[in-house]
Amino acid sequence: MSIFTDIADQWQIADGALGDLEQAAFAADDDQRFDAADEQRKRNDQAYFLFLFTRFEDAVNEAITVIVGNRVSGVVWAERRVWEAWLGQDVTAIRFMSKIEILMDKSLHQYGIIKEYYRGRNDIAHGSIWNEPLLSGVMRTIGAEVPIL
């Protein structure tokens, strides 16, 4: 098991419980309770997505640290100079999508997925609501569509 599947499994349990609240409210024909449960479910989706994405960012940072270290060790200056520019920096200070561009080809479908998820991550992290209608689907498929480093 990985942290990614652990988080997705935890989300599944929480989402199921909130779904049960929605169903109970629907069965009781209680619109106010239904709307409250629906809002809780959306916020839960976003909280778990943000948590999941922070773990992905951590995996990206670890991969970049390894790559930069490998590119400056025992390599002639002409080949390592670009990598040395990143060597002295805190890896978290490097722009996230620049790191992704080092790790994968921008023409890949997965690159576009990561870019969209990153936009959603920023929306959520800065107080907006990510209007991704399939956010729960993201949670179910994150490990299948996006290569985990």
The confidence band for 8, taking pLDDT boundaries of 50, 70 and 90, is confident
Inter-residue contact 146 to 56 (CB < 8 Å): yes
Q: What is the per-residue pLDDT for 149?
A: 43
Give mean pLDDT, residues 16-42: 95
The angle, 0 to 180 degrees and rounded to 10, between the axes of the packed helices 31-72 and 77-87 is: 140
Supply the DSSP symbol for 104. S
Q: What is the per-residue pLDDT for 139?
A: 59
Give mean pLDDT, residues 36-59: 89
Alpha-carbon span 41 to 106, nearest angstrom? 33
pTM attached to this predicted model: 0.79
Alpha-carbon span 34 to 24, nearest angstrom? 8
67-71, 96-100, 108-112: least confident range: 67-71
